Amino acid sequence: MGHNAIIIMGPTAVGKTDIALTVAESLGGEIVSADSMQIYRGLDIGTAKPSREQLARVPHHMIDVADPKKPYSAWEYRSGAGAAIEGIFARGRVPVIAGGTGLYIHSLVYDMDFGGSAGDAALRRKYERLADERGAEYLHGLLAERDPAAAERIHPNNVKRVIRALERMPASAAVADGKTHSTGGYAPFRFELRRGGLIDPVLVLLTRERAGLVKRIELRVDEMLGGGLVSEVEGLVAKGLSLEQISMLGIGYKEVLGYIGGEYGYDEMAELIKIHSRRYAKRQMTWFKRYKDATAINLSEVGETGAAEIITGLFTEQIAL
């Protein structure tokens, strides 16, 4: 099979987990998560991690690999996921990469320069000047273009955290159209769509009709809250986690923290999680539409079983070529 792999991407709650499981079982594969929240240990309900039963069906990688008290970079993900994928290939199995974090997926498919991932003093000063000259909203807009998930977690007025997130990004992570961003005279990021040598993937984008996706998002939020999300967050707070940690700025966690802190009531908290999840799904789709060579599958039309069959067929065709 060489470096042949499958990437199943799509917005939150679209149905990636179940389809990835079916495909992996059909092809003798192992799943590599590409989710920027499922990496954190102890954040289970709010990240919609696979259940114990699902984890037992197929080997999973890149879940529960990070300390929620510490930042986690795209470079760290690329390193860990790369090692996992190499192990899957060595075992003669198929990597099935599934998730909704565009930057993580991008790091596995395309050449990316991670030279600035640990932070750069000169780059930091440039962003600080940008914040002074053009304002916090402009800087947050740059982050939203390059990492929508991080932008969702970080408030626009928290300039320090916005800069920290931009610093840790790979130096090629600007946009997926091959252009250099205009940043008030600064151009620290350049992005080119050159396939890397790690994998040769079948790229699949799962979609649903908007109304159906919204219904699934709202149902998922209700299930998370009914399944103990508030208690999970209270336990994390008892362990010393707060909004100071990036992990707790994820959708679901920051809203519950506000509820626990008395900022609003239970119903408003639930509605905020749904609103923020819907907005995040829209940003995810904007990111994924950049992949012109991805096969889009509308689950509202073909269903999950049909989608799994299509993906399996696409992969079989690639192997035959």
pLDDT per position as a tens digit, 154-170? 878 788 888 888 877 65
pLDDT reported for residue 145: 78
Do residues 230 and 170 share a domain? no
> For residue 190, what pLDDT band results from cuts at 50, 70 and 90?
very low
Residue type, 38: Q
pLDDT reported for residue 232: 98
- Across residues 200-212, what is the average pLDDT? 97
CA pair distance 201, 315, nearest whole angstrom: 9
Do residues 131 and 273 share a domain? no
Q: Which region among 150-159, 164-173, 220-229 has the lowest average model confidence (pLDDT)?
A: 164-173
Say how many C-beta atoms besides its own lie within 10 A of residue 267's C-beta: 9
As a whole number of Å, the end-to-end CA separation of the chain is: 11
Per-residue pLDDT at 184 exceeds 60 = no
- Across residues 108-126, what is the average pLDDT? 67
Per-residue pLDDT at 277 exceeds 80 = yes
- Output the six-digit token pair for 2: 């060489």
pLDDT reported for residue 182: 31
Do residues 103 and 118 share a domain? no
Q: Which region among 58-72, 159-173, 211-225 has the lowest average model confidence (pLDDT)?
A: 159-173
Most confident of the ranges 52-61, 141-150, 172-181, 194-203: 52-61
Question: Comparing 115 with 317, which gets the higher pLDDT?
Answer: 317
Do residues 234 and 189 share a domain? no
Exposure of 179 by Cβ count < 10 A (0-12 exposed, 13-18 middle, 19+ buried)?
exposed
- Across residues 241-247, what is the average pLDDT? 91
Sign of CA dihedral 143, 149, 150, 155: positive
Do residues 180 and 124 share a domain? yes
pTM of the model: 0.80
Do residues 87 and 214 share a domain? yes
pLDDT reported for residue 152: 79
Sign of CA dihedral 145, 146, 148, 151: negative
Number of domains comprising the chain: 2
Do residues 259 and 315 share a domain? yes
- Across residues 25-44, what is the average pLDDT? 97
Question: Comparing 71 with 97, which gets the higher pLDDT?
Answer: 97
Do residues 165 and 298 share a domain? no
* Of the residues 194, 209, 235, the one at which a domain ends: 194
Question: Comparing 146 with 90, which gets the higher pLDDT?
Answer: 90
* Of the residues 173, 194, 215, the one at which a domain ends: 194
CATH number at residue 127: 1.10.20.140
Count of residues for the chain? 321
- Average pLDDT over the chain, rounded to whole? 87
CATH number at residue 26: 3.40.50.300
* Of the residues 149, 171, 194, the one at which a domain ends: 194
- Output the six-digit token pair for 100: 């909704």
Do residues 215 and 306 share a domain? yes
Q: 176, 290 in Cβ contact below 8 A?
A: yes
Sign of CA dihedral 69, 246, 290, 47: positive
Domain that holds residue 129: 114-194
Residue type, 89: F
pLDDT reported for residue 41: 97
pLDDT reported for residue 180: 30
Do residues 207 and 285 share a domain? yes
Do residues 23 and 167 share a domain? no
pLDDT reported for residue 124: 77
Do residues 261 and 293 share a domain? yes
pLDDT reported for residue 122: 67
CA pair distance 30, 91, nearest whole angstrom: 10
Q: Which residue has the tokens 């199943």?
A: 8
Q: Percentage of the chain with pLDDT > 70?
A: 86
Cross-strand partners of 96: 6, 31
